[in-house]
Structures are given as structure tokens and as C-alpha cells.
Amino acid sequence: MSARALPHSSGPPLDEPRTEELASGVYAYIQPDGGWFVNNCGFLVTPDSVIVIDSAATEARTRGLRSAVSAVTGLPVSTLVNTHWHTDHTNGNYQFRGATIVAHERTREMMLRYAPTTPDLDGPFPAVPWGALEPAPPFLTYGRGVTLWAGDVRCEVRWVGTPAHTTDDSIVWIPEHSVLYAGDLAFNGGAPLVSAGSLAGSLKVLRDLRELRPRTVVPGHGDVCGPEVFDLVIGYLEFVGDLAASGHRAGRTPLEAARDAGAHPFDQLLDGERLVANLHRAYAEIEGAPPGAEIDLTATRRDMIALNGGRPLRCHA
Ligand SMILES: [Zn+2]
């Protein structure tokens, strides 16, 4: 695999995205290094068309995804599934016009409000080459889930039932191949993020996903892995919960609690400043906020920058 430099806003060149075949006709599209706005996608080749799972953050990265699909098959993309509304997974939807765009009904609602990327969302980041993005929200929506068929292979698209990473997370589960596209419920190598969802809800969902016993997990960010990724994320979120409980009891702010943590078992994860955003969510839940309740995300971004030494957050989109 060559290490062609992709256009991005800061830092050293990243490795080129790569396609991995996980089972017959079942692919992951992995974008190193999985940091902010550098997401994973997937695609399923059916006998007569292609089902794509998530688009990418920028015009250029979504063109790369389309090229990767074309390198595998000449069949057209008939369906695009969004695992959640976050703009790194949906900004490129417009490049799949003509396909049926499928997602949870709240994913559509959130995209109509916040997507494609808006300046207040990219504010914490350095200039990112987003390209010419256009709105393209899902137009086939579901409440609890919907089943797609890749030929005779069953693909279960399921809302996870509670706010977790966001308020609208879905998974794509392919029982026949034991492959799970987990969206951003799973980060592999990067710090998980629950500030826009729920810490308690995330823990419940992650335990449920572990019970599925998938052979292969495609995380929303980071390398393809197995179900051990759920142990990693659960361990991290339990750490956040403990830190929040002691910090809250001691009257420390989320930023002070994050700084108090010092060296800890998860401090090598990419984009570690998310710790303070997660603490904001944990504090809200300690104070009785229900899962997914709105919190001040401007404060979480401000504190992430503070925890990052006052610098804009690292983004290689
Ligand atoms: Zn996300």
C-alpha cells in the first residue's frame, strides 16, 4: 500500500485509505489514522448493485470512497446507509445522489439541522478542505430498524435503542458473516466520544454489542478489529465515569478533573482531549440529565482546546 499524501490541513502525511474484504462481497473502507473527521465506511456488493455504509467528511475523501467501490465492481450504488448524523459520516452523501439514502428518522432530523458541516462545528479545527458540500439527508427513514438484502444475505440495520455516541446511532449487522459495522459506538485506537449522546447509554449498548459476539467489527474510526474493541471502549467509559464521580464530589470542573487525571491507562489514545467532553456528559448525568439531553457543546469544545494546550484540535480530514 503506498503512502500517498492526502490533502489535509495539518501534520505529517497519512497512509492512503484501503479496502479490506471481510467476507465474500463484504468490504471495509479504512481511512488512517482514524482521528477527528477521518472515518471508516463500508460497502456490500449484491448481485446487481452496491450498498454503501457511510460517506466521508470531505469532497475529496468521498471521491476516494467512490473510486474504491469502482475498483471492486462496476455495479451502481443503489443504497447508502448512514450510521448516525455526524458530518464525517454524512458530508459526502450528495455524491451518491440517485441512491436511496437510509437512516434512522432522527439522523435525518439532525442532518437537516446541522449537516453538511457548518462553521460552528468546524470551529475547533484548523482550516479543513471540505470541498463543495451539498445537503443530502436520508429520505428513507426508520424508527427501530430495517433489513436490507445483499442478494440472499441479510443485513440488519438497527437503531441501538438509546442515546449513546449520539442520539441516533445505528449498527449494520450481517449475521451470516458475523460482521458488525459499529459506526462510532466503537473507536479503535482513538478516544471514544459520548458528549453528544450518553455515557450510561453507551455502556448499555456496548455490552449489548459484545453479546452479539461478532467475529469482525468495523469501528467508526481505526482498524478493523474483533469484539475486544468493546472491552476497550467500556473500560475507557468506566474510567470516565469514575473520574467524573470523584471530580464532581470534590467540586472540580470537568476541565480540572481531566487535568487531575494526569497519566492514566488511556492517555495514549488518539485525540485524548475528548476526555473533557466526555466528562461534561458524565457530570450532566450525575446531575440527573436523561440520556441525550442537550448540554453546552460550546463549553465542551472550548475545554477540549484548553486540554489540547490551547491549540486547535488535530484534524487530518
Ligand atoms: Zn460520530
**Residues 178-187 pLDDT 10s:** 999 999 999 9
| Ligand 1 geometric centre to CA of 84 (Å) | 7
Q: Residue 58 belongs to what H/E stretch?
A: none
245 C-alpha to ligand 1 centroid (Å):
25
pTM score, two decimals?
Answer: 0.95
Asked whether residue 8 is domain-assigned, the answer is no
Calculate how far, in angstroms, residue 16's C-alpha sits from the geometric centre of ligand 1. 21
d(CA 167, CA 111): 12
CA-to-CA separations, 223 to 32, 216, 227, in angstroms, rounded: 8, 11, 12
Residue 48 CA, ligand 1 centroid: distance in Å: 30
- Predicted confidence at residue 128, as pLDDT, reads 85
3-state DSSP helix/strand/coil % of the chain, to nearest 5: 35, 20, 45
Q: What separation in angstroms does the CA of 26 have from each of 19, 102, 141, 220, 280?
A: 10, 18, 23, 16, 38
Ligand 1: centre distance to CA 253 (Å): 25
**Residue 14 has what pLDDT?**
82
Q: Where are the alpha helices (DSSP H) in 166-227?
A: 199-211
Domain that holds residue 241: 18-307
Interacting residues of 218 by C-beta distance below 8 A, sequence separation 6+: 22, 28, 40, 42, 179, 180, 181, 182, 224
- Is 230 inside any structural domain? yes
Please give the distance, rounded to the nearest whole angstrom, from the Cα atom of residue 154 to the centre of ligand 1: 25
Asked if residue 154 belongs to a domain, the reply is yes
> Would 317 be classed as within a structural domain?
no
Q: How many domains does the chain have?
A: 1
HEC string for 63-103: HHHHHHHHHHCCCCEEEEECCCCCHHHHHHHHHHECEEEEE
- Is residue 234 assigned to a domain? yes
Residues of the chain with pLDDT below 50 are 1-9
The per-residue pLDDT for 124 is 78
CATH number at residue 219: 3.60.15.10
Give the pLDDT confidence score for residue 57 in this predicted structure: 96
Residue 314 domain flag: no
Position 122 scores a pLDDT of 55
Residue 7 lies in a domain: no
Residue 133 lies in a domain: yes
* 271 Cα to the center of ligand 1, angstroms: 13
For a pLDDT cut of 90, what percent of the chain falls above it?
A: 88
Residues around the ion ligand 1 (C-beta < 5 A): 86, 184
Cell matching residue 232: 476497550
The 10s digit of each residue's pLDDT in 93-144 is 999 999 999 999 999 999 999 989 765 555 678 778 899 999 999 999 999 9
Question: What pLDDT sits at residue 125?
Answer: 82
Can you tell me which residue has the cell 450504488? 77
